Amino acid sequence: DAGVIQSPRHEVTEMGQEVTLRCKPISGHDYLFWYRQTMMRGLELLIYFNNNVPIDDSGMPEDRFSAKMPNASFSTLKIQPSEPRDSAVYFCASSRGSYNEQFFGPGTRLTVL
C-alpha cells in the first residue's frame, strides 16, 4: 500500500508568493494532520481533520495559513502571502481512527527567500 503522499518534496519561493502544499492520505484513513517542523519550535501540530472536517486549527499560526480537505483523498495547506519565517518542513500524517498510529508523509521542505 502507498503511504502518505506529499507534494512537492521541495519548494523554493519568494516572499509574498502564494504557496500550496498537497497531501494524499492513506486510503481508508479518516484523520489527517498537518505538522510543521522548525529548528526553533520543533514539531508542532497546525491543524487536523476528521472525515474531511477541520476539528482543531488552534495551531495555525495566523490568517495567512489556510487548510482544506475537499474529499477523503486530498488536502491542501496554503500560505498566502508567504514570509521567510514560514521556511520549515511541513508534514502531513493520517490515521485510521483517533487511537491508532499516525503515519507520516515524507514532508515538504519549504524555503521562502
Partner 1 sequence: AQTVTQSQPEMSVQEAETVTLSCTYDTSESDYYLFWYKQPPSRQMILVIRQEAYKQQNATENRFSVNFQKAAKSFSLKISDSQLGDAAMYFCAYRSAGATNKLIFGTGTLLAVQP
Which residues of this chain interact with partner 1, rule CB under 8 A? Answer: 31, 33, 35, 42-45, 48, 50, 55-56, 89, 91, 93, 95, 98-99, 101-102, 104, 106-107, 109
Task: Output the smallest distance, CB 108 to partner 1, in A.
Answer: 10
By C-beta, is 93 or 112 nearer to partner 1? 93
By C-beta, is 72 or 81 nearer to partner 1? 72
Nearest CA-CA partner of 8 in 105, 94, 84: 105
SS3 of residue 38 by DSSP: strand
By C-beta, is 82 or 95 nearer to partner 1? 95
Task: Output the smallest distance, CB 95 to partner 1, in A.
Answer: 8
CB of 76 closer than 8 Å to CB of 20: yes
Task: Output the smallest distance, CB 18 to partner 1, in A.
Answer: 24
By C-beta, is 17 or 98 nearer to partner 1? 98
For residues 83 and 15, give the distance between their C-alpha atoms in angstroms, rounded to a whole number: 5
Task: Output the smallest distance, CB 87 to partner 1, in A.
Answer: 15
Residue 53: exposure state from Cβ atoms within 10 A (0-12, 13-18, ≥19): exposed
Nearest CA-CA partner of 20 in 94, 110, 103, 93: 110
